[in-house]
Amino acid sequence: MFRQLSARFGSPVAMAIVTLLGMWLIMMVTLPQLQMIEYSLRPNLLPAQIGGPDDRLTVANYVTLFNNDIHRAIFLKTIWSSVLVTLLTLAVSYPLAWYLAKVATPRQAALCILLLIVPFWINEILRTYSWFILLAFRGPLNEVLLALGLIERPIRFLSGDAGVMVGMVYAYILFMVFPLYNAIESLDGNQVRAARDLGAGTLRTHRRIVIPHAKPGIATGCIMVFMLAAGSYAVPALLGSPGSRWFTQIIYNWFFEGGNWNQGAAYAFLLLVLCIGFMSLVMKLFKVGLGDIAK
């Protein structure tokens, strides 16, 4: 990386960029994570007990998750739901990315990208709350369905995980669309035309030509959406019901309602390990490396 930056900007500028990047990684990523790990291995003690015989390293905070049936169930549900959100976002984003990269004219693509980006100029809380209004029991969606005669009584869209899924797909769709778009755009159109000339249908062309070429983009999008979904707090807090709690809400409760930062740090670190494991699994399944994803 230093050689590339040096060739483009010169050695002094490249050295400054690498130094700032290293400082950012150390101060904003490495040190906070090390502090969180240290917190997670300490018991929650009164100030007078800190430094005493009870202040020792322990894995009791991690064991709590496996001994608490409710928290364990929410943890597993968060994993499964985040995977489902990732798959739904991929299913929605792939046709859109293909249209933007290979079907739409430059003017149409620019307009479509603008329409995708403009809503994200608004704060995530407000965008999520708009879905809360839209999916409410007496909200616009139910009123339209009632007026069309498609339903006989309003549907409680926010009573389960459906509202959370919709909100997350909408909230993180750009993190899937743009990696896919970048990957598909670099595909030589002659390969697609050659496949069609040889008799391959649309599905087979995508399965044999487009998807293998777009693997880095798919892997990047899946990793980003899963990590954002698993770590989301605002969307499940606003669109979820009491029976559809997210693991991040449990972490928040440990930190700010229970005042047990040690237990919260242990839960947060377990979530981090989960996200890293998912990232490694996706890279292995798609047979891509960090260099491929960085492109």
Residue 88 has pLDDT above 90, yes or no: yes
Report pLDDT for 84: 94
Q: What is the mean pLDDT of residues 5-16?
A: 70
**Locus of tokens 């991690």:** 62
Residue 252 neighbours by CB distance under 10 Å: 17
> Which residue segment(s) compose the domain that 289 sits in?
70-294
Comparing 149-158, 164-173, 180-189, 221-230, which segment has the lowest mean pLDDT? 149-158
Residue 98 has pLDDT above 90, yes or no: yes
The CATH number that applies at residue 257 is 1.10.3720.10
Report pLDDT for 21: 84
Instruction: Let me know if residue 101 belongs to a domain.
Output: yes
Report pLDDT for 295: 61
Instruction: Let me know if residue 22 belongs to a domain.
Output: no
Instruction: Let me know if residue 48 belongs to a domain.
Output: no
Instruction: Let me know if residue 250 belongs to a domain.
Output: yes
pLDDT grade for 1, boundaries at 50, 70 and 90:
low
Count of structural domains, the chain: 1
The number of angstroms, rounded, from the C-alpha of 232 to the middle of its chain's C-alpha atoms is 8
Task: Report the chain's mean pLDDT, rounded to a whole number.
Answer: 86
Instruction: Let me know if residue 50 belongs to a domain.
Output: no
Instruction: Let me know if residue 144 belongs to a domain.
Output: yes
Report pLDDT for 139: 85
Report pLDDT for 287: 79
**pLDDT, tens digit, 9 for 90 and up, residues 158-184:** 877 888 888 999 999 999 999 999 999
Instruction: Let me know if residue 92 belongs to a domain.
Output: yes
Concatenate the DSSP letters of all residues of the chain into one string: -HHHHHHHH-HHHHHHHHHHHHHHHIIIIIHHHHHHHHHHTS----GGGTTSTT----SHHHHHHHH-HHHHHHHHHHHHHHHHHHHHHHHHHHHHHHIIIIIS-HHHHHHHHHHHHGGGGS-HHHHHHHHHHHTSTTSHHHHHHHHTTS-SS---GGGSSHHHHHHHHHHTTHHHHHHHHHHHHTS-HHHHHHHHHTT--HHHHIIIIIHHHTHHHHHHHHHHHHHHHHT--HHHHHH--TTS--HHHHHHIIIIIS--HHHHHHHHHHHHHHHHHHHHHHHHHHT--HHHHH-
Report pLDDT for 9: 63
Report pLDDT for 248: 92
**Locus of tokens 């709350």:** 129
Report pLDDT for 193: 84
Instruction: Let me know if residue 40 belongs to a domain.
Output: no
Report pLDDT for 293: 65
Report pLDDT for 18: 80
This prediction's pTM: 0.86
Asked whether 184 and 213 are in contact (CB, 8 A), the reply is yes
**pLDDT, tens digit, 9 for 90 and up, residues 228-287:** 999 998 888 888 877 778 899 999 999 888 888 899 999 999 999 988 898 888 888 887
